[in-house]
Amino acid sequence: MAEPQRWTELLADSDDICRRFWSEAVSSGAGWPDQCADQWKTSIDEVTDALAGFAHQTGEEGPPPNEPASSLRVLGRGLAVRFSPLLGLDAFLQHLQLLRTCFLVPVADAGGYPPLVLSFFDLLTRAVVREWRRHESAGLQRRLREANHFILLEKRRYFSIFNQMCEPALILDQRLRIVDANPAFERFAAIRREELLGKSCREVLGEPGKVCTTIERFFAARASFANIETQMVINEEFRDVVLAGSFLGEVAAGQSATLVILQDVSGKKEFERRLLESERKYRSLIENVPNVIWQGDEHGTITYISPNVSNLVGYTGEEVQLAGRLGWLGRIYQEDIDQVINHFARIFTTGHNIDVCYRFQRKDGTWIWLQDRTGIPYHKDGRLLVDGVLSDVTRLKLVEEELEQHHLRLAEIIDRRTEELRTANERLTLEVEERAKTEESLRQLAVQLQASNVELEQFARVASHDLKEPLMLIAAFADRLVRKYAASIDADGQRYLGRITACCDRMQQLIGDLLQLSRISMAPLTVQEIDLGTLVAEVVRDLRDRGSDQAVIRVHTLHNLEGDRTQFWQLFQNLLANALKYRDKTRTPDIVVKSRTLADNLCEISVEDNGIGFDERHLERIFQPFERLHAGEGYEGTGIGLATCRKIVLRHHGEITARSVPGRGSTFIVRLPLRQTGISVCGEEHEKL
């Protein structure tokens, strides 16, 4: 086989080489991956052609070259590109050695030159390794660029996510110093980021429960952590916080870091505490109320019953739940079972609540009355449930039975009483008719009495007026006797004439006072706003003009009233004149007039003096006409002045009274309305509103 064409003929059957290569691969245990079958078929064809070309260029006896030719480098590059994604370099070289063996066998059998085949495969192997390394290096460079680009993108994404996180977050280094803090942490801790950087996490998070020690342990293990609970003091307030973190790896040359995320659960913790407290109170309430709380489902299963059921029926809650619905029904009085079953069946069919009473046998054998009330059914966890309340109403039932008996007895009593009342009503009807007749008679008498009073007042006025003329004649003729015949009349006659004159004067005063009293009752009232202070001052001036200037009269600030000014003048003129008349001759008269307002639209006026006073036993007498308590003590008067005051006060819907101590003075008290609502402006009295 010295001629090159002999190599071409020798290697013409590549299919035989493929079969031999497959057989060698299987027998050697190297295997032939199914995904490489087509690639190896193509590669064997290329190697066959390259080997033929190599033999043609070198010659059978020529020395093997030290470096692969350009054609081998191209073949090596093609093999490296084709198989590097599918096999490792060692696996490929192992298969390439098997292929070399497959080419050596036919060459040796045909008397060929094996060193040329060995040289070819050595050069091919060297070309493949070189191109394979170059191809891998290019791939690594490409992947490194891709990795750097990915890291850059990840850093950008990290900073974007870190700064936009709603949860407070920190970056810590190996010594647990703060490397970075997001804006959420600045807001949470109320500390600026610049003040946080470089600080130890112990200064910020504190060391309750060795939290930082736990973070340090996870950092050393390069592991993530979650659900670490702690408390932080923020603005002098304890905040409950849950920590979670993740190891970030090396973030700089020789510098590792970990991410710590905080979740403020203060509100949740407070809610849980309140919920637990509420549940504790609710459970305490359920367990301590005298009633029994229970819960059941539509199948009759008792899912819950409060522990105080033992106080009610003698059975514990566990016994009741184990016995179930049938056990409970078995203790109900036979006559009540049907109504109880019907009522409870209606709960879940109609969706309404129930209220049923039945007799129940306790564990000790005694019978009690139970009242069972339920709420409206509701769905929970896929079940239809209802809540109920059991109450012991035995005493109430006994009371109801007693009341029923009382009702029967009461019905009998009512029947008897009804008959008695009917008889009494008949008698009362007769009495009412008689009383109506009597009231009508009294009304007629009142009308007659009122007419009589009017007639009497008119008679007093007419009589007083008619008495004046003869009295004036008597006084005139007595005066003439004294002036003309004084010398002819002896001493006794002179004395008699003096007494006649004095009696005439007194009679004239009495008639004048009587006329004044009658005018008060008959004259119309003119209601107006009265400045009481001004009116009393005028009365005082009038009294001083009459010779009372030695008395001390002190008038305090007085309130304004509504009333008839003329009659108010008479009222205060009589009160002050009365105080001056009945004075103690051993001391200067001292009179004080003052007023104050009371409730119910009233004004109280008091006239206080230091006179002789009177015994309060005679209080009612002093306001009667012609009554004179001190008639024989040298105090003149007709006894009509205070009666006139009382008449004026009564016409103005007021009242008058007095307080006194004999020898120490008197105080007359007048109470009058500030506003007159029962007197018309024309003086006619009308009914009060």
Q: Mind listing the pLDDT tens digit for each residue in 337-347? A: 888 888 887 88
Report the pLDDT averaged over residues 9-30: 64
Q: If we measure between CA atoms, which residue out of 332, 179, 331, 165 comes closest to residue 250?
A: 179
Identify the band that residue 683 occupies on the pLDDT scale cut at 50, 70 and 90. very low
> What is the rounded distance in angstroms from the CA atom of residue 277 to the CA atom of residue 270?
10
Residue 447: Cβ-neighbour burial (10 angstroms; 0-12, 13-18, 19+):
exposed
pLDDT at 3 over 50: no
pLDDT at 682 over 60: no
- Amino acid occupying residue 129: V
Cβ atoms 63, 23 nearer than 8 A:
no
Report the pLDDT averaged over residues 564-583: 87
Q: Which range, 53-62, 164-173, 519-528, 572-581, has the best average confidence (pLDDT)?
A: 572-581
The tokens of 323 are what? 């016995």
pLDDT of residue 656: 92
Residues 294-328: pLDDT tens digits? 888 877 788 888 787 888 888 887 888 888 778 88
pLDDT at 232 over 70: yes
pLDDT of residue 685: 46
pLDDT at 118 over 70: yes
pLDDT of residue 58: 67
Considering only residues 428 and 264, tell me which one the structure prediction assigns the higher pLDDT: 428
What are the helix (H) ranges across 523-622?
532-545, 565-581
pLDDT of residue 476: 76
pLDDT of residue 93: 82
**For residue 91, how many other CB atoms are within 10 A of its CB?**
15
Residues 551-573: pLDDT tens digits? 889 998 888 999 999 888 888 98
pLDDT at 604 over 80: yes
> What is the rounded distance in angstroms from the CA atom of residue 679 to the CA atom of residue 677?
6
Identify the band that residue 2 occupies on the pLDDT scale cut at 50, 70 and 90. very low
DSSP states along 122-136? HHHHHHHHHHHHHHH
pLDDT of residue 356: 85
> What is the rounded distance in angstroms from the CA atom of residue 606 to the CA atom of residue 556?
10
Residues 243-279: pLDDT tens digits? 888 877 766 666 788 888 887 777 777 777 777 777 6
Average pLDDT of the residues of the chain: 77
Considering only residues 354 and 29, tell me which one the structure prediction assigns the higher pLDDT: 354
pLDDT of residue 460: 61
- pTM here? 0.35
Considering only residues 152 and 414, tell me which one the structure prediction assigns the higher pLDDT: 414
Identify the band that residue 466 occupies on the pLDDT scale cut at 50, 70 and 90. low
Report the pLDDT averaged over residues 475-492: 76
pLDDT at 348 over 50: yes
Q: Which range, 7-21, 424-438, 488-502, has the best average confidence (pLDDT)?
A: 424-438
DSSP states along 140-152? HHHHHHHHHHHHH
Identify the band that residue 159 occupies on the pLDDT scale cut at 50, 70 and 90. low
Q: Which range, 195-209, 301-315, 439-453, 653-667, has the best average confidence (pLDDT)?
A: 653-667
pLDDT of residue 680: 47
pLDDT at 631 over 60: no
Considering only residues 430 and 351, tell me which one the structure prediction assigns the higher pLDDT: 430
Q: Which range, 364-373, 474-483, 629-638, has the best average confidence (pLDDT)?
A: 364-373
Report the pLDDT averaged over residues 80-84: 82
Identify the band that residue 124 occupies on the pLDDT scale cut at 50, 70 and 90. confident
> What is the rounded distance in angstroms from the CA atom of residue 310 to the CA atom of residue 318?
10
pLDDT of residue 536: 92
Q: If we measure between CA atoms, which residue out of 649, 656, 624, 673 comes closest to residue 520?
A: 649
> What is the rounded distance in angstroms from the CA atom of residue 536 to the CA atom of residue 593?
9
Which of the residue ranges 38-42, 214-218, 471-475, 670-674 would you say has the lowest mean pLDDT?
Answer: 471-475
pLDDT at 607 over 80: yes
Helix (H), strand (E), coil (C) string for 201-255: HHHHHCCHHHHHHHHHHHHHCCCCEEEEEEEEEECCEEEEEEEEEEEEEEEECCE
| Residue 422: CA count within 13 A, CB half-sphere | 5
Residues 6 or more apart from 187 whose CB is under 8 A from it? Answer: 168
Instruction: Dump strand ranges (E) for 341-488.
Output: 355-361, 367-374, 378-380, 383-392
> What is the rounded distance in angstroms from the CA atom of residue 382 to the CA atom of residue 16?
74
Identify the band that residue 141 occupies on the pLDDT scale cut at 50, 70 and 90. confident
